[in-house]
């Protein structure tokens, strides 16, 4: 089955309506208006990318599934290990979602009792290493994005534009190493004053989620302390990172009907879509949290 068709079936199976690709757009930074210039109780907002800004979380899950199922089949033939498929709910969300690529691979393989070296011991690579599995997953992901593009959550873009009008600094923090391609394809690169992604993390030696390093670095790049910045995340590991970093507010986005899960792992407030919240509501929640602490 072609990978694009497989994506449509996969999205429906996990309860997500496949998005149409409207073609490239270019979202410019909006100017701050007098009407929205009232002082807010926070100075910056740090957004996750996959699942918050873009409809790419399901694409990642599908690419991970195809890669891991291929590899588990190899192990079945080579070592006689019973094949047990990689699942979205039981494996992707538990071990991989929101984490740096190689860390996610290690965590999933460990759950199956499999240990692989970081690099292939064979000349020319091969499938028996963390890096080669990660490279294969990335190839599959980029095939889908190249053919179909990356859908956007318009409500997220609308909130970002509202925040910018009010003078709030906006950054992006993601474990993905594909942010440059995704932001370019969605026309959203100009919305963010700083981007801290998997490539930046690798260069700076930042720890991945659930550690707060990428959010704290984005906030610092904007010249704002953690206590004056909010975090918007859809992954459990992401809300854990926001809570651990002492941010002004951690907003969980429950794309998979996991409101309680996100709240129990550190989100101060949980919505199913950012259309449910506004800059004013965020301000009220941040102010109330600061008063409690």
Whether omega before 252 lies within 30 degrees of 0, making that bond cis, reads no
Among candidate residues 181, 186, 187, the one with its CA nearest the CA of residue 197? 181
Q: Which of 41, 43, 50, 234 is catalytic?
A: 50
What span, in angstroms and rounded, lies between the C-alpha atoms of 231 and 288?
A: 16
Which of 223, 231, 224, 237 is CA-nearest to residue 268? 231
Query: Is 48 part of the annotated catalytic residue set?
Result: yes
Closest to 187 measured CA to CA, from 27, 62, 44: 27
Rounded to an integer, what distance in angstroms lies between the CA atom of residue 224 and that of residue 231? 13
CB 18, CB 12: distance < 8 Å: yes
- Clarify whether 50 is annotated catalytic: yes
Phi, psi of 169 (to 5 degrees): -80, 140
Q: Which of 9, 26, 41, 48 is catalytic?
A: 48
Burial of 121 (0-12, 13-18, 19+ CB in 10 A): exposed
| Active site residues per annotation | 48, 50
């Amino acid at each position: 089955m072609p990978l694009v068709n497989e994506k449509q079936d996969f999205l429906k199976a996990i309860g997500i309506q496949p998005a149409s690709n409207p073609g490239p757009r270019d979202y410019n930074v909006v100017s701050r208006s007098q009407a929205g210039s009232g002082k807010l109780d926070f100075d910056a907002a740090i957004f996750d990318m996959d699942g918050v800004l873009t409809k790419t979380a399901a694409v990642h899950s599908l690419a991970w599934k195809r890669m891991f199922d291929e590899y588990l089949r190899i192990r079945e033939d080579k070592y006689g290990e019973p094949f047990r498929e990689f699942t979205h709910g039981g494996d992707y969300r538990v071990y991989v979602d929101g984490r740096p690529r190689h860390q996610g691979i290690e965590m999933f393989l460990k759950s199956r009792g499999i240990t692989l070296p970081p690099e292939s011991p064979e000349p020319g690579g091969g499938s028996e290493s963390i890096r080669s599995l990660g490279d294969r997953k990335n190839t599959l992901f980029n095939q889908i994005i190249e053919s179909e593009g990356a859908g956007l959550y318009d409500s997220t873009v609308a909130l970002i534009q509202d925040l910018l009008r009010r003078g709030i600094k906006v950054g992006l923090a993601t474990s993905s190493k594909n942010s440059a391609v995704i932001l370019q394809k969605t026309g959203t690169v100009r919305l963010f004053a700083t981007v801290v992604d998997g490539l930046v993390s690798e260069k700076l030696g930042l720890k991945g989620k659930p550690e707060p390093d990428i959010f704290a670095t984005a906030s610092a790049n904007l010249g704002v302390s953690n206590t004056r910045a909010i975090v918007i995340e859809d992954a459990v590991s992401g809300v854990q990172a926001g809570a651990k970093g002492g941010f002004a507010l951690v907003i969980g986005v429950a794309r998979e009907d996991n409101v309680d899960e996100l709240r129990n792992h550190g989100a101060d407030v949980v919505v199913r879509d950012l259309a449910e919240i506004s800059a004013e509501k965020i301000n009220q929640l941040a102010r109330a949290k600061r008063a409690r602490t």
